[in-house]
Amino acid sequence: MSSNRDQAYLKTRVGVLSARLLDADEIERLKQMSLRQLGDAFDLQPIFEESIDNRQRIRLVEQALLQRLMSELSVLLRPLSGRSRGLMLYWPRKFELYNLKTLIRGKLNSLGMEEIRDNLYEMPENIRLPHESLLQAENVLEMLRQLDQGPYALIARQARNVFEEQHENFSLDAAIDRLYYTGMLRHANITDSIDKRGLKKVIGIMVDRQNIIWLLRYRLVYRFAPSEAYYLLIPYGGRLQREKLMELANLDGLETIIEHLPAPFKAILSNANSITQVRQRLDHTVSDELRILMHHSPDAVVSALSYLIIRDMDLMKLYAIIQSKLLQMDGTILNEAVPGNPLQMEATEASHV
């Protein structure tokens, strides 16, 4: 995107859309609303009124919120062309990769086609995988071979190599995730962004968050060996580079790993007592950092990408709130799952102990 007019248009659209982002007070307000109020506020009431079970209703809500995000993406794509457009179109491909993993799991578990279809996201044509053709594939390798041409080719080929070597789903899932982020960085490196440093910072923020969460799960939940855990991480990031990741992978225990994280993660995650708390604190910090980039980057593409990532996180919180209402969960469980400001809430709770 080269023209000043296109930059100005995109900046303006981001500015208008950013009013939809949720702060901690708004999240708390949403948690206090009834299901009907939430339905009216987000045009979801027709779903709540359908004569279907809650499982189907929850799925329709998730799809509706994703369509809302895709609609906003289409607005932000209007002034974009060339490599800037390619980068912005690459980010939502993560949802189609979720679909690919669903298709693979369905094939491996011999699920029926209708059951698999019911669990696929509906995505725009310009990023959509050929679902029906993939469903007809004889096996997982054939499924991945079908993607050898087109925008998913590099991910599909390397994922196929992993599956041919290991023939199990976990490594394949992890490889697809790693390849997605590697592709994100590749697109950033070839754009003509006037704020390439800001663009790489956006991606580094995303990768650092993912690597910390994955590392903790691999070492503390799955009990993977250090070498195996390190292999499954993304070998670059913003503040966490290869050597640091290798050091962290050789540690054991939540407190010990947090103690050896670099700034600002060590301070942010200090006294976190679960991986859930770590994720919530990281999400809050990621949102804050991306808001700064959204408002202050000289490049409208950096602002637009930052907006989309924050908006996606916000809609996931909204989805969790609606899901809890539909399932009539206790308010305490909802507050634990969707804290307004996890750092502030934990500090308040600690002061009352």
Confidence grade of residue 42 (pLDDT, cut at 50, 70, 90): very high
Per-residue pLDDT, 79: 94
Domain-located, residue 245: no
Domain-located, residue 265: no
Map tokens 């023209």 to a residue. Answer: 3
Per-residue pLDDT, 343: 65
Confidence grade of residue 126 (pLDDT, cut at 50, 70, 90): confident
Residue 213 CB coordination number (10 Å)? 16
Domain-located, residue 39: yes
Domain-located, residue 219: no
Listing DSSP states for 140-207 in one string gives HHHHHHTTSSSTTHHHHHHHHHHHHHH--HHHHHHHHHHHHHHHHHHHHHHS--TTHHHHHHHHHHHH
Total domains in the chain come to 1
Domain boundaries, position 71:
1-79+300-330
pLDDT at 352 over 50: no
Confidence grade of residue 94 (pLDDT, cut at 50, 70, 90): very high
Per-residue pLDDT, 168: 83
Domain-located, residue 17: yes
- Burial label for 341, CB within 10 Å (0-12, 13-18, 19+), is middle
List pLDDT tens digits, range 242-286. 999 999 999 999 999 999 999 999 999 999 999 999 999 999 999
List pLDDT tens digits, range 151-186. 899 999 999 999 999 888 898 999 999 999 999 999
Can you give the pTM of this predicted structure? Answer: 0.93
Cα 188–chain centre separation? 18
Helix %, strand %, coil % for the chain, to 5?
75, 0, 25
Confidence grade of residue 350 (pLDDT, cut at 50, 70, 90): very low
Domain-located, residue 150: no
Q: How far apart are CA 173 and CA 140, in angstroms?
A: 12
Domain-located, residue 91: no
Listing DSSP states for 207-262 in one string gives HHHHHHHHHHIIIIIS---HHHHHHTS-S--SS--HHHHHHHHT--SHHHHHHTSP
Per-residue pLDDT, 235: 85
Rounded to an integer, the average pLDDT of 78-93 is 94
Domain-located, residue 215: no
